[in-house]
Amino acid sequence: ARHLITAAAQMGPISRSETRADTVRRLVEMMREAKARGCGLVVFTELALTTFFPRWMIGDEAELDSFYEAEMPSAATQPLFDEAKRLGIGFNLGYAELVVEAGVKRRFNTTILVDATGRIIGKYRKVHLPGHDAPQAGRAFQHLEKRYFEPGDLGFPVFRGFGGVMGMAICNDRRWPETYRVMGLQGVDMVMLGYNTPFDHTGDEAVNSLTLFHNHLSMQAGAYQNATWVVGTAKCGTEEGSKMGGQSVIVAPSGEIVAQAVTVEDEVITAKCDLDMGRIYKETIFNFARHRRPEHYRLIVER
Ligand code: CDT
């Protein structure tokens, strides 16, 4: 068995006035707790360094830029890398990425995988961007990810590390079966993802009331159908007046939840994950080479 004790480090709200130093301090504290509980890997959330700013229309470019990281690590985030190296623990971190290419600013909703020596070994940019590219009338909170980010341009790569095949996704990606399947086809053992999920995202009370159900439904189905661990880490609680779902989970390749957060605050949950647990599924019911019929799946890539 290949055991990896893994943590999901859920975050409670981050206020707009919190500095990077504040959020990094919170992350370091949870990293230490994860290490004290024997973890080799800690999974942080989506956009873990700032408040979830896509809820606002931000017209001022300098103000918008202040939510992004122009370098990683930076002076502000270096303590996270230093602490990881000191403790000998890896981490997965989501943040807003600003890159300047040929004088043009490009913005991505990004996540990186850092090994236990503090080295970045993988990067993923969110493919499925929810929401709108312009403010919607009559909404208390906007969801302007399509305005503030480009769709990721890296596909769904997997990375060898932590004794297995590691993959990443971000928030809305978890609702799409293709996310997991593309990584499943590369033999993924563990998919790490963070999320910020407001309860008001559809504008329909009945659907909104199922927010937490759909959160788990998506991740449990993705895990089972691709014989992979899924670590889902929330940013949750009431952030700047916006209520967001918690219930961070670690899901086994069986689709079973093996650890779940019970607060909507900073909370570390852990599980001893056997990266070989997916093998029985990969070799039997989900033996892709034997049972899939890609000749009948063409529509998926054509539309
Ligand atoms: N961050 C993110 O992708 N959140 C979305 C909210 C719903 S769509 C406006 C999600 O899928 O959880």
ipTM of the complex: 0.98
CB 110 within 8 A of CB 126: yes
Indicate whether 203 pLDDT > 90. Answer: no
Q: If you take atom 4 of ligand 1, which residue's CA is the nearest one?
A: 197
Task: Tell me how far apart the alpha carbons of residues 147 and 134 are, in angstroms, rounded to a whole number.
Answer: 7
Indicate whether 41 pLDDT > 90. Answer: yes
Catalytic residues: 46, 126, 171
Ligand 1 site, CB within 6 A: 46, 130-131, 143, 171-172, 175, 195-197, 201
Give the helix/strand (H/E) hosting 196: strand 190-196
Indicate whether 182 pLDDT > 90. Answer: yes
Q: If you take atom 3 of ligand 1, which residue's CA is the nearest one?
A: 172
Q: How far apart, in Å, are the Cα atoms of 9 and each of 42, 44, 142, 143, 232?
A: 7, 5, 26, 24, 9
pLDDT tens figures, 213-262: 999 999 999 999 999 999 999 999 999 999 999 999 999 999 999 999 99
Average pLDDT (28-56) is 98
Q: If you take atom 10 of ligand 1, which residue's CA is the nearest one?
A: 172
